[in-house]
Chain A
Amino acid sequence: MYSRMIRNDMSKSRLITLATTLFIAAAAMLVSLAAVLVIHLSGAIDTLMKRSETPHFMQMHRGDIDLARLEEFAEQHDNVQEFQVLKFLNIDGSQIRFGNHSLVNHVQDNGFSVQSEKFDYLLDLNGNIIQVNDGELYVPISYWKDGITKVGDEAVISGKLFTVAGFLRDSQMNSSLASSKRFLISPNDFEDLQNRGSIEYLIEFRLVDFSQLKEFETAYALADLETNGPTLTYPLFKTINAISDGMMIGVIILVSLLVVAIAFMCIRFTLLTKIEEDYREIGVMKAIGLRVSDIKRMYLGKYAFIAAMGSILGFLLSFLFQGVLLANIRLYMGESENASLGWLFGVLGSLFVFTAILVYVNGVLKRFHKISAAEAIRFGMSQDKTQRTKGFRLRDKKLLTANIYLGIKDVLTRKRLYGTMLAVLVISTFMMIVPQNLYNTISSDDFIKYMGIGKSDLRIDVQQTENIVGKSSEIRNMMQNDNTISKYAMFTTKTFKMRLKDGTEETIKIEIGDHSQFPVEYSEGRAPIAEDEIALSVLNAEELARKVGDTVPVVIHGMEQDLTVSGIYSDITNGGKTAKAVFDDNTAESMWVVFAAKLADPILIESKVSEYASKFSYAKVSNINQYILQTFGSTMNSVGKATYSAIAVALILSVVITLLFMKMLIAKDRYSISVLKAIGFTNSDIQTQYISRSVFILVIGIFVGTILANTLGEMIAGGLISSFGASTFQFTINPITAYLFSPLLLISFVLIATVVGALGAGRLTISGNIKG
């Protein structure tokens, strides 16, 4: 009997059944996808890093190196399992050519290596350690993805001819967010090229006990070994590998949670409508002695069926999109070892949605207990608990027309009912605003300031040790006399000793210069101004346990001096542990110098970059806009797409939910509507009342949603952005799209849906609802 009732019922309300099924399918699909992606991503990263044997600790170093001393350190330190020093041959992008295309405009440091012997292997696309022959070149996978070259192409490196033999995965530098890229060549070819670029050393360790990484880092720092370059560790490599796809998964999870929430509301509305329509029957069933659990089972059976169909459909659909979404992970990271478990997690995801829906439906059906048989039979509809709203009387509100008054009054007296609709609108507003604010923020020119890079047109890095002071003053003189440069600043990073409370010494790299020029964003405090002030990067402040106002004892001119922390900023450059100050100490060793410059006319950037690059071949000259584009471009792109999809999804959801809501309202209100019609209100009057209700909750919903987007949304987006290394940030907002166009779009879509939904009220007959 039940199955026949279910079938009857579903064929009567085909459209709603279909919509509900589709929502559940979408929810199940997204949850399954998120589960599958998480499993694949984490699995693939683990597999890649396991096969590559990624170093646990790596110190980059330029300049002289004392190998014997390093070996001694490695031997004496119990926790070191393996140790090696790799050479990374930096060659200018202009000297790397594939056909007609050179890498001159690529911001990444391109370097050449031979295959390592002990660990940190470069892998081919099957996950095997590559063996290279003379004349062969293996290229980082990202250059294949960007379509720069393909297998079999000829490549000319500093005049030497190579054949592209394949592509490689590099567990350290795969991501576009990693600033260097490693090419692989044979040892003989490396010999040949060695003099055509500058050598950088990768001093790498693998530890016996990985959990002692922190202690090892300290030990290395204290041992006074080579440190002229950033220090990177295993967790950072893992994070960098995970960020791009992780962001995508984050967005999918966020959207899937919202869709699940919306599916719940959709079910709530259709279920409440159904209960409303069946009210009298339910009362009669109770009156003739059917138990509530029996009645519930009939409704639950229907939703179990719909939920099962939706979940299965969603699970199948997830297969359709898995391929596309996994492609990037597969390309960069390769197959995960536990890939075969992927589908299992997909099933679990769908199962989760299925179960959640049944639990929810069961919860909504609890109200059967509250239906009084007598009331149901007498009135044929539920008597809503109306809240009294004294003081909001028709005769007092002279400014409102009768229709608008009735609309608002209804919302005020049935707050719980409208609360659900309000929640949908708040979610929709949130969904429309947060992604676009996030997109605006990361695509804004100022965003790099959260990454520890000041906003400028042009940036020059001088990283060579020989006569760094002389070379940088050459550049400074040229900039000084260049009248196309409207403003410039020079920042010299030097190492200093720092004595800690327990008496131990540590080194700290401090960037000296005028930090009021080309400033970065400070999460707390401000840039150093006085000679006795210092600003710390977030990582440094955490490690040294310093807050703004604390002091740091630094040895300057051989004298220990307490510098006051003036501010804390986030930084992802140079391993993230940096400091800034304005004092000078000519006795300290200069490690690298950075110039930032602003041009009088930004049109000149391209030509200035090539002018300085050709004049100072030892320096790396970059166009900041290009840097941003190449580092964050792909992320910006995907967030941009996510933004448009989120807006579209929010609008579609609002329309569908509004239609369902209106259907439910009219089912509930059929009596009041008939009364209004009987006493001479027209269909368009009633429509005006429904529109007033919608506008009223729209205004509140958009207001609340906007506030939430700017508080909670900013926090959530902050979490995503902090994966880039920025610790605090504020939305960069385009008020016209965020606070004018988006609300207008939402308002017009919801109003159209309201009008269409309220058409049902016109079809109600008075005689059908008021018994004579």
Chain B
Amino acid sequence: MKKLLIGDQIVKSFSEGNEKRTILDHVSIEIDQGEFVTIMGPSGSGKSTLLFALSGMDEITGGRVLMNGRDISELREKELSDLRRRKMGIVFQQPTMLHNLNMLDNIILPSVKDNRKNVASITQKAEALMERVGIAGLKDRDISKVSGGQLQRAGICRALMNNPDILFADEPTGALNSTSAQGIMNIFSEINQEGIAILLVTHDVKVAARAERILLMLDGKIVRELKLSKNKEGRGDDGKRIEMITEQLREIGI
């Protein structure tokens, strides 16, 4: 398998007054094309920070991040933005939509930026995606007038618009009830089966169980790695997997 994304000895530290706090302490991570990886760990262990670092949204203090073999710290701001827009999709825990655009306009925004002329086909694609995640009727809805779950689905649509190589998701189901969460996760499993790599942070064992690899983080370090078989059905209620993961978590005291 070709390596899609490599994090090599990543260090991220903040200075607070005279003190320096290290949030990521020499973290190394590799993700293959089309792989589904989840990260678990207690609050404050540095999961989000790692995601920000890998997606080039935050500068790192030390180490390297290679996307398709290129060191992203060597990219200019413009190239990095292009890379993020074209090759990466990002879904946050809280939906991140622009307040003054409606649902559909929010979704097509990054694609339209590159390709103003093909709005028609872009819109078609967005409508198809919205249909697929079950929010087809909300095209012209104000974003303040839809539920959190619906917004999260719109966020996934936006992330998928440019056919990314990898999708980063930071606790995408954290703010949702279990039915919505399951709906969202089914979508993730589906897109993964279509060949898009996923790096997903979660607290939910059921969510984590859909992945083929689980990384456990503690105090800025990856302390353990769990390799599972490819989850063919893409379902989260496989009792055996869940039990195994819970066991591992207990072992390291989470």
Contact = CB atoms under 8 A, between A and B. Distances in A.
B166 interface: no
A150 interface: no
A398 B58 contact: no
B100 A383 contact: no
Nearest to A379: B94
Contacts of B47: 772
A410 interface: yes
Interface string A733-763: 0000000000000000000000000000000
B57 A685 contact: no
A5 interface: no
A393 B113 contact: no
B93 interface: yes
Contacts of A401: 113, 116
Contact of B49 (A409, A678, A680, A767): A767
Interface in B193-218: 201
A560 B35 CA distance: 112
B151 to A, nearest CB: 12
B57 A678 contact: yes
Which of B100, B102, B116 lies at the interface centre, i.e. has the most chain A CB atoms within 10 A of its CB? B100
A543 interface: no
B100 A766 contact: no
A677 B93 CA distance: 17
Contact of A678 (B48, B90, B140, B142): B90
A719 to B, nearest CB: 43
B67 to A, nearest CB: 13
A265 B201 CA distance: 46
Contact of A681 (B105, B113, B123): B113
A386 B99 contact: yes
Given A395-B105, A678-B96, A682-B78, A765 B58 contact: yes
Contact of A398 (B109, B110, B119, B201): B119
Interface in A316-375: none
B142 A677 contact: no
B141 to A, nearest CB: 11
B57 A675 contact: no
B51 interface: yes
A386 B144 CA distance: 10
A681 B86 CA distance: 11
A410 B110 CA distance: 17
B22 to A, nearest CB: 16
Contacts of B243: none
Nearest to A413: B100
A103 B170 CA distance: 90
Interface in B58-94: 58, 77-78, 81-86, 88, 90, 92-94
Contact of B123 (A395, A409, A674, A682): A395
A675 B98 contact: yes
Contact of A395 (B52, B104, B144): B104
B111 to A, nearest CB: 9
A679 B110 contact: yes
Contacts of A410: 100
Nearest to A388: B142
A402 B48 CA distance: 29
A372 to B, nearest CB: 15
Interface size class of A (residues with CB under 8 A): 35 or more
A772 B48 contact: yes
B154 interface: no
Contacts of B108: 394-395
A517 B126 CA distance: 76
Given A398-B119, A767-B49, A682 B77 contact: yes
Contacts of B153: none
B29 interface: no
Interface in A563-600: none
Given A398-B117, A402-B109, A682-B78, A677 B100 contact: no
Interface in A653-693: 672, 674-685
A770 interface: yes
Contacts of B104: 393, 395
B112 interface: yes
Contacts of A413: 100
Contact of A680 (B84, B94, B105, B170): B84
Given A384-B99, A386-B100, A394-B109, A766 B78 contact: no
Nearest to A679: B110
Contacts of A676: 98
A771 B122 CA distance: 30
A115 interface: no
B97 interface: yes
Contacts of A393: 102, 104-105, 140
Given A394-B105, A767-B57, A679 B84 contact: yes
Given A398-B117, A683-B77, A772 B92 contact: yes
Contacts of A383: 99, 144
B131 to A, nearest CB: 16
Contacts of B228: none
A416 to B, nearest CB: 14
B158 interface: yes
B49 A772 contact: yes
A674 B90 CA distance: 13
B94 A677 contact: no
B110 A767 contact: no
B244 interface: no
Contacts of A677: 57, 81
B101 interface: yes
Contacts of A685: 81, 113
A214 B93 CA distance: 85
B100 A770 contact: no
Which of B47, B78, B109, B110 lies at the interface centre, i.e. has the most chain A CB atoms within 10 A of its CB? B109
Which of B88, B92, B112, B113 lies at the interface centre, i.e. has the most chain A CB atoms within 10 A of its CB? B113
A383 B82 CA distance: 30
Which of A384, A388, A398, A413 lies at the interface centre, i.e. has the most chain B CB atoms within 10 A of its CB? A398
Nearest to B159: A679
A59 interface: no
Interface string A400-434: 01110010011001100000000000000000000
Contact of B85 (A409, A680, A771): A680
Contact of B101 (A384, A409, A678, A683): A409
B52 A772 contact: yes
Contacts of B93: 771-772
A714 B216 CA distance: 75
Nearest to B87: A680
Interface in A263-280: none
A682 B81 contact: yes
B78 A680 contact: no
A681 B99 contact: no
B174 to A, nearest CB: 10
Contacts of B100: 386, 389, 409-410, 413-414
Nearest to B84: A680
Contacts of B77: 682-683
Given A675-B98, A678-B96, A402 B113 contact: yes
Per CB-CB distance, the 4 closest pairs between chain A and chain B, nearest first, are A772-B48, A680-B85, A394-B105, A413-B100
Given A409-B101, A678-B90, A767-B52, 18 more contacts: A384-B99, A394-B105, A395-B122, A402-B112, A406-B98, A406-B109, A677-B57, A679-B96, A679-B109, A680-B113, A684-B78, A765-B58, A767-B48, A767-B57, A770-B92, A772-B51, A772-B170, A772-B171
22 contacts: A394-B108, A394-B112, A395-B112, A395-B119, A395-B122, A402-B116, A406-B98, A410-B100, A413-B100, A414-B100, A672-B99, A675-B97, A678-B57, A678-B84, A679-B85, A679-B90, A679-B110, A682-B82, A767-B52, A770-B92, A772-B51, A772-B52
Interface of B: 47-49, 51-52, 57-58, 77-78, 81-86, 88, 90, 92-94, 96-102, 104-105, 108-110, 112-113, 116-117, 119, 122-123, 140, 142, 144, 158, 170-171, 201
